[in-house]
């Protein structure tokens, strides 16, 4: 049997250090308790909103938490699957592209999504998420649109 732990909407921020640290401890203690009872975890699926604003500081904090969790679970880093959420990117970068769209128009969307400019905005918007993945797992290809 494969066991998958799902974590979602952690909204890790650089504020409220004591509260978040207690939450991190509780999560790790829960999984350590499961392991001590013979309940192992094979994969961890993190389904978005890892951070509150997608800042580098928030992702560094998330990195520390997931490294601790990975060591506690004793599973390979490759068994962690991260999906970005709407709080895991720099919204200003995306808004720069979409501010030109006033009315839904498929031709305009097609031009934007196929432009190199949009591709660059996506990479800029997800820069901190991509850096987090690289620091956690090692070499990771950039997230692209």
What's residue 50's pLDDT? 96
Q: Which residues pair with 12 in a beta bridge?
A: 51
Asked whether residue 50 is assigned to any structural domain, the reply reads: yes
Assess if residue 84 is contained within a domain.
Answer: yes
Q: For residue 106, what pLDDT band results from cuts at 50, 70 and 90?
A: low
Q: What is the CATH number of the domain that holds 75?
A: 3.60.21.40
CA distance 81 to 135: 14
Q: Are 34 and 72 in contact (CB under 8 A)?
A: no
* Least confident stretch, 54-58, 78-82, 83-87, 139-143: 139-143
For residue 37, name the pLDDT band (cuts at 50, 70, 90): very high
What pLDDT digit, counting tens, does each position of 65-104 carry? 999 999 999 999 999 999 999 899 877 666 655 555 555 6
Q: Which domain holds residue 21?
A: 1-88
Domain presence at residue 128 = no
Position 41 in a domain: yes
Sheet of 80-83: strand order equals 4-7, 43-47, 80-83
Q: What is the total count of domains within the chain?
A: 1
Instruction: Please report whether residue 30 resides in a domain.
Output: yes
Tell me if 124 is assigned to some domain: no
The answer to whether residue 15 is domain-embedded is yes
């Amino acid at each position: 049997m494969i066991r998958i732990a799902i974590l979602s909407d952690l909204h890790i921020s650089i504020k409220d250090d004591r509260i978040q640290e207690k939450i991190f401890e509780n999560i790790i203690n829960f999984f350590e308790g499961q392991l001590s009872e013979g309940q192992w975890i094979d994969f961890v699926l993190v389904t978005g909103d890892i951070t509150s604003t997608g800042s580098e500081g928030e992702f560094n904090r998330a990195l520390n938490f997931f490294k601790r969790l990975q060591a506690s679970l004793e599973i390979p880093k490759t068994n962690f699957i991260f999906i970005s959420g709407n709080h895991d990117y720099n919204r200003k970068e995306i808004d720069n592209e979409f501010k030109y769209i006033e009315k839904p128009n498929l031709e305009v969307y097609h031009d934007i999504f196929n432009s190199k400019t949009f591709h660059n905005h996506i990479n800029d918007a997800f820069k901190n998420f991509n850096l987090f993945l690289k620091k956690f797992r090692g070499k990771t290809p950039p997230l692209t649109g």
